[in-house]
Amino acid sequence: MGVRCGTSVMALVLVLLLVGVSVNAQNCGCASGLCCSKYGYCGTTSDYCGDGCQSGPCTSSGGGSPSTGGGNVGTIISQSVFDGLAGGAPSSCEGKGFYTYDAFIAAANAYSGFGTTGASDNQKRELAAFFANVMHETGGLCYINEQNPASIYCDATSTSWPCASGKSYHGRGPLQLSWNYNYGVAGQNIGFDGLNNPDVVGQDATISFKTAVWFWMQNCHSAITSG
């Protein structure tokens, strides 16, 4: 797993893509200190800064106002954005049709705070970084399984998560989950037998995306959202 928590050049491109999802709605151009209402007008009352506020000193969880989570990842990563990312994979790819939007949303909603922490820009930054890594690890959502794995990734010293006979713990899924101990812990958290049935990560799209979001939350979420 070559996951990088920071934002690469690809991530910056994705940030622009993600911001573009809602750019038409955020065209108030309000002066400093004014809120942009959900209808696109500037003001300072609750009608402007409350529910649906897009930017400015919002009192709701929208726009630039920080939130503690509970947002909807689907408002940033829409079906069309996801399809734009997945659509570049050739028809010959094993991942073509495997990585679905519904599977991603189900996985995202299973982890509180993923893509919903902080202000809107922070949420977009995290989701952009996540998908930058996904695109890198899977060759643009083309691969499910690691290409030409160097080994079966069995760490015999991991006595808490002993390797099962005949099983390979090579990279699988959006962030290429690897090694027996990662499969073991991920399986325990998500609800599958990672040691005896690692293949399910390459067979069930929702479980596959859940392993990616699980790994991200364990290793990258705090670094991205606190930066």
Task: Give the DSSP per-residue string, 179-191.
Answer: SHHHHHHHHHHHT
Query: 189-207 b/e with 16+ CB inside 10 Å = b?
Result: bbebebbbebebbbebbbb
Tell me, yes or no, if 137 is annotated catalytic.
yes
Which is catalytic among the residues 94, 126, 137, 146? 137
Burial degree of 214 (CB within 10 A; 0-12, 13-18, 19+): buried
Q: Are 141 and 135 in contact (CB under 8 A)?
A: yes
3-class state of residue 51 by DSSP: coil
Backbone angles phi, psi at 4, to 5 degrees: -115, 125
End-to-end alpha carbon distance in the chain: 23
Run of H or E residues at 213: helix 205-219
Question: Which residues have C-beta within 8 Å of that of residue 155, sequence separation ≥ 6?
Answer: 163, 179, 180, 181
3-class state of residue 42 by DSSP: strand
Q: Are 56 and 49 in contact (CB under 8 A)?
A: yes
Q: Would you please indicate which residues are annotated as catalytic (active-site) residues? A: 137
